[in-house]
Chain A
C-alpha cells in the first residue's frame, strides 16, 4: 500500500507529514517505557522481520497481490509505541534505499501503515483480550482478528487522505469500495502471518511477547499459590 509521489497534493502531503512527525514524537516518548536491555534487540529484529515479510507479496485476486503491513504484529511483539517506530523505520528505509513509496508521500505512508495499523490493530487486540479467557489460544485468535481489521483500516485512512488531497478526479465512493474490498482480502494474509508469527514466539519464549504480558502474570501467581496451598490441602476436611 506504498503511496508513490504525485497521488496526493502538496498541502495534504505536508499535513500528513505533520501527523506522522507528531505520531513518531509520541511513539519515541512511549517507547522508552517499552524498551530495555532485553527488548531493544528484539525490537530491532522485529523491524527487520517486518521489512523481510513486506517483500513477500502473496496473490489475493486476479492480477492483484498484497503483502504484510506489520503494524499489528510489531505492536503485539514489542509494544504499540515501539511498533509504530518499527514500521516507520521500515518505510523510511524502503523510500530512501529501494525507491518504494514516494519521498513526498512518506508522511502519508507512515500515517496509514504505521499509525493507523497500530492504533486500529493493537487497540482491537487489547479489546478482544479483555473479553477472552487468558490463554495462548486467545492471544493468537485476537492477533488474527486485529491484524485482519488493521489492513482495511489503513485502506480507509488512505481513502480519507485521497478525498482531502487526491490529484486525480476519481469518485471517492469508487475508491473507498475498491480499496476496502481488496484490503479485506489482503487482511486475511496479514492475519495468517501475524497469528502464525505470534504463536511461534509464544511457543518458544512467551515472556518476550509484549501483548501476552497480562497472560503471564496470572500463570506465575497460580504456581506460587499452589505451592503455598499444597501442604494445607489434606487437612482441609
Chain B
C-alpha cells in the first residue's frame, strides 16, 4: 500500500467514526462524570465558559437533526485537529535529511541506475 493511499484511508476511517459512528456512542456519563456526581466531587462545578459556542457539546448550533448536527460537528472537529496538529507537526519536523525520498516521489526513486554496470 502506498503511503498516500494509507494516509487517505486513515483519514477516511476518522471521518466515518466522527461523522457517522459517533451517533451510536453511549450517552451515559463517562467514568469521571459519574463518580463526580455520585460522590459529590462536582459540588462546585462551573459551566464551561464557551458552552454556547457554535459547536458546544458536539453539535452544530442551528442544525435541528441530531444525527446531522452531531456528525457535522465530528467532521469539523477532525478537520480542525488535522489542520492544527498537521500544521504543528509539519512546522517542527526535521528537514532536508532525505531529499531522495521526498513525499510522493518514493515509488520513482529506486537505486536501479547505479547498479546497471
Instruction: Point out residues on A near B: beta carbons under 8 Å.
Output: 1-7, 28, 31-33, 35-53, 55-60, 63-67, 82, 85-86, 89-90, 92-100, 102-103, 155, 158, 162, 166-170, 174-175, 178-179, 182-183, 185-186, 204-205, 208
Q: In which size bucket is the chain B interface?
A: 35 or more
Taking a contact as CB atoms under 8 Å apart, the answer to whether B78 and A167 are in contact is no
Residues of B with C-beta under 8 A to A47: 81-82, 85-86
Tell me the interface secondary structure of chain A in the complex: helix
Contact B92 A49 (CB under 8 A): no
Known: A1-B30, A58-B26, A178-B39. A86 touches B45 (CB 8 A): no
Given contacts A3-B32, A65-B31, 17 further A-B contacts (CB under 8 A): A2-B30, A5-B48, A5-B49, A7-B41, A36-B97, A37-B101, A44-B86, A44-B89, A57-B26, A57-B30, A65-B30, A67-B25, A85-B85, A89-B81, A97-B80, A168-B42, A168-B43
How distant is the Cα of A20 from the Cα of B58 in the complex, in angstroms?
25
Judged by a CB distance under 8 angstroms, whether B108 is at the interface is no
Interchain CB contact under 8 A, A55 and B18:
yes
A186 shortest CB reach to chain B, Å: 5
Main secondary structure of the interface of B (DSSP, over half): helix
Instruction: From known contacts A49-B10, A65-B28, infer whether A7 and B40 are also in contact, taking CB-CB under 8 Å.
Output: no
Q: Does B35 touch A at the CB level, under 8 Å? A: yes
CB-based contact A93/B17 at 8 Å:
no
Across the A-B interface, how many residue pairs have beta carbons closer than 8 Å? 235
Q: Say if the beta carbon of B109 comes within 8 Å of chain A.
A: no
- What are 23 of the A-B contact pairs (CB < 8 Å)? A4-B42, A7-B42, A35-B92, A36-B97, A45-B82, A48-B79, A48-B82, A55-B17, A59-B28, A85-B85, A89-B84, A89-B88, A93-B81, A98-B77, A99-B48, A99-B53, A99-B55, A100-B48, A102-B46, A162-B41, A178-B35, A186-B31, A208-B3
Cα of A47 to Cα of B80 in the assembled complex, Å: 10
Q: Do B17 and A40 have beta carbons less than 8 Å apart? A: no
Q: Contacts A64-B28, A179-B35, A204-B6 known; A166 to B41 CB distance under 8 Å? A: yes
Within 8 A of A (CB), among B1-15: 1, 3, 6-7, 10-11, 13-15
Given A4-B46, A57-B27, the answer on whether A35 and B17 have CB atoms closer than 8 Å is: no
A50 to B85, CA, bound (A): 11
Which residue on A lies nearest to B32, using beta carbons?
A: A1
Name the residue on A nearest B51 (C-beta). A99
Other-chain residue from B7, B28, B36, B56 in contact with A98 (beta carbon distance below 8 A): B56
Q: Which residues of A contact B44 (CB under 8 A)?
A: 6-7, 167-168
Tell whether, in the assembled complex, residue A98 and residue B31 are in contact, meaning their CB atoms are under 8 Å apart. Answer: no
Contacts of B115 in A (CB 8 A): none
Q: How far is the CA of A33 from the CA of B55 in the complex (A)?
A: 35
Q: How far is the CA of A6 from the CA of B40 in the complex (A)?
A: 12
Across the interface, do A55 and B58 meet the contact criterion of CB distance under 8 Å? yes
